[in-house]
């Protein structure tokens, strides 16, 4: 019996090993070959879903393939979290794809420091009408040491309140203009068994990105935050930051969120809202694209968008929302010659004026000065673009903090909402950021 078991075990081990081998690198990156007529280009993206934006981007890729039979375009679409991880892993092994969707800020900086990207300044400067049409500061987070590495393909305010006017009217609640009004609204909804704010914080970045970044900016001001990120003259143990955490905790204590918010995800959070069980949810501008696809026409008519109310005595500007200029495309450092030209052509197809137009038409904001087509766009999206004309973007925490500190604050906010002490959490964030910056 023992022998047979060992034999079975040995077979199992062999099989699993062989299976492991099967997935290896079969695609040979023949960059310097040049003898073949066909150019192979690899592109990794996160346009895997059925949302309007992903569909629009895939259409551009299909058109590009049809127009360029000489280019063998190999596309891999992954879910967002998966793509981030995959890029990191490929970066560690120095096996980056030729083009890839890349996040501004921290990720761009780290890839530049790892010597994995090539700047696109020459290409940008050769098309001034394109370069000069981006909104102010759009290229900042893709610029490292004076060189620009990409352009944003969308715009992502991460912190907007989507609310159901019908539920507000039913209980005589006004759209909150102050923090106290927000708390009162929460109280009223709670007493009437309506979920005040739907939340899905299982992937723990949600609270940080959609709510806390804005609250914190309202309290501390952007300047303080950037100083604290650089660990230069401000620390996360400062009283301002602890005050910001206290405000966040106040929302939790007021019962703003439904039970079990830590075990459902962002999609289920939107579902709670589309089912009419919640009066509000707080999410990024990207939620419009999925909301218009999933919610009933009736609910969409009652849905409006606003920003978090100002916080009295806070140092931040009130007419703001946290956010980032959206993702761009990274260009692999190794590309040269015809391959590089082909890559830049694809770059322009996706991020150039036509690509920006296609993105905007798919109910996704862009960092590019074009107007939405009001006859075609969904009214909710038109409302969002109107709102964003008067709202400034302030940095979202996870685009500026080091990866280690992001993980700490994400977990810390979960802890905070479950009753953790703001001081302890502040200290953990401070330690992580100080450790990463090296001070």
Partner 1 sequence: MNASRVRRFIAAALLPSVILYALFVFVPVIWSAYYSFFNWSGIGEAKYIGFQNYAELIRDSVFWHSLKNNVIFVLASILGQVPIALVLAILLHKSNALQRFMRASIFMPMVLSSVVIGMIWQYIYHPQIGILNFLLDALGLGSWKMQWLSDPDISIYALLPPLIWNFVGLYLIIFISALQNIPSEIHDAAKIDGVSGARKLFTITLPMIWGTIQVAIILCISGSLKSFDLVYVMTKGGPAHATELLATYMYNSTFSTYRYGYGSAISTAIVLISLLFIGTSQWLTRRKAD
Site residues for partner 1 per CB under 8 A? 1-2, 4-5, 10, 13-14, 17-18, 20-21, 85, 88-89, 91-92, 110-111, 113-116, 201-204, 258-264, 272, 277, 403-404, 406-407, 411-412, 414-415, 418, 420
Give min distance, CB of 248 to partner 1, in A. Answer: 14
d(CA 100, CA 75): 10
Nearer to partner 1 by Cβ, of 58 and 88: the residue is: 88
Tokens of 275: 């089912």
Between β-strands 320-325 and 392-395, what pairing exists: parallel, antiparallel or unpaired? Answer: parallel
CB of 19 to partner 1, least distance (A): 11
What minimum distance in Å lies between the beta carbon of 432 and partner 1?
A: 8
Least separation in angstroms between residue 4's CB and partner 1 is 8
Instruction: Name the residue nearer to partner 1 (CB basis): 94 or 137.
Output: 94
The least CB distance from residue 305 to partner 1, in Å, is 24
Q: Is 193 left (phi over 0), alpha (psi -120 to 50) or beta?
A: left
Element (H, E) at 73: strand 71-77
For residue 81, what are the contacts with CB-CB under 8 A and spacing of at least 6? 203
Using a 10 angstrom Cβ sphere, with 0-12 exposed, 13-18 middle and 19 or more buried, the burial of residue 254 is: middle
Name the minimum Å distance from CB 11 to partner 1.
Answer: 9
- Name the residue nearer to partner 1 (CB basis): 1 or 27: 1
State in angstroms the smallest separation of the CB of 104 from partner 1. 17
* Helix ranges restricted to H, 323-391: 337-351, 353-361, 379-389
434 close to 229: Cβ distance less than 8 angstroms: no
The tokens describing 174, both together, are 């006004």
Quote the CA–CA distance of 117 and 334 in Å, as a whole number: 8
CA 285 from centre of chain: 10
* Closer residue to partner 1 (CB): 258 or 363: 258
Nearest CB to partner 1, comparing residues 13 and 338: 13
Strands (E), 211-331: 278-283, 303-306, 320-325, 328-331
Nearer to partner 1, 203 or 338 (CB): 203
Distance CA 152, CA 137 (A): 11
DSSP 84-101: HHHHHHHHHTT---SEEE
User: From the CB of 9, what's the least distance to partner 1, in Å?
Assistant: 9
Question: Which one, 39 or 194, has the nearer CB to partner 1?
Answer: 194
Residues 6+ apart with CB under 8 A from 7: none
Least CB distance from residue 201 to partner 1, whole Å?
8
137 vs 263, beta carbon nearer partner 1 = 263
Q: Residue 10, SS3? A: helix
Return the number of the residue (306 or 403) whose C-beta is nearest partner 1: 403
């Amino acid at each position: 019996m023992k022998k047979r078991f060992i034999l079975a075990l040995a077979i199992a081990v062999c099989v699993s090993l062989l299976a492991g081998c099967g997935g290896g690198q079969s695609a040979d990156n023949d960059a310097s070959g040049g003898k073949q007529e066909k150019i192979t280009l690899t592109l990794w993206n996160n346009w895997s879903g059925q949302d309007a934006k992903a569909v629009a981007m895939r259409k551009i890729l299909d058109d590009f393939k049809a127009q360029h039979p000489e280019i063998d375009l190999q596309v891999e679409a992954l879910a967002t979290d998966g793509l981030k991880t995959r890029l990191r892993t490929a970066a560690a092994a120095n096996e980056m794809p030729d083009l890839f969707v890349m996040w501004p800020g921290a990720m761009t900086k780290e890839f530049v420091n790892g010597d994995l990207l090539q700047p696109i300044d020459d290409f940008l400067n050769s098309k001034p009408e394109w370069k000069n049409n981006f909104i102010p500061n759009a290229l900042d987070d893709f610029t490292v040491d004076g060189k620009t590495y990409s352009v944003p393909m969308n715009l992502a305010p991460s912190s907007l309140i989507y609310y159901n006017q019908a539920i507000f009217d039913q209980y005589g609640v006004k759209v909150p203009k102050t923090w106290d009004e927000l708390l009162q609204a929460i109280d009223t909804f709670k007493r009437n068994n309506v979920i005040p704010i739907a939340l899905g914080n299982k992937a723990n970045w949600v609270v940080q990105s959609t709510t806390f970044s804005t609250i914190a900016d309202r309290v501390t001001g952007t300047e303080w935050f950037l100083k604290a990120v650089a660990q230069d003259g401000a620390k996360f143990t400062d009283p301002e930051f602890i005050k910001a955490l206290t405000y966040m905790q106040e929302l939790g204590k007021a019962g703003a969120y439904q039970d079990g918010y830590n075990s459902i995800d962002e999609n289920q959070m939107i579902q709670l809202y589309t089912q009419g069980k919640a009066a509000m949810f707080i999410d990024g501008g990207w939620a419009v694209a999925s909301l218009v696809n999933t919610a009933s026409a009736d609910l969409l008519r009652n849905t409006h968008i606003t920003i978090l109310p100002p916080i009295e005595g806070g140092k931040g500007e009130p007419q703001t929302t946290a956010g980032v200029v959206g993702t761009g495309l990274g260009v692999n450092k190794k590309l040269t010659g015809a391959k590089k030209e082909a890559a830049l052509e694809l770059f322009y197809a996706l991020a150039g004026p036509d690509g920006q137009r296609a993105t905007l038409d798919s109910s996704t904001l862009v960092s590019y000065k074009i107007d939405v087509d009001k006859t075609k766009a969904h009214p909710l999206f038109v409302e969002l673009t109107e709102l964003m004309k008067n709202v400034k973007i302030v940095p979202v925490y996870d685009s500026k903090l080091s990866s280690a500190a992001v993980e700490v604050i994400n977990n810390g906010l979960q802890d905070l909402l479950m009753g953790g002490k703001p001081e302890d959490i502040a200290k953990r964030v401070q330690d992580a950021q100080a450790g990463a910056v090296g001070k």
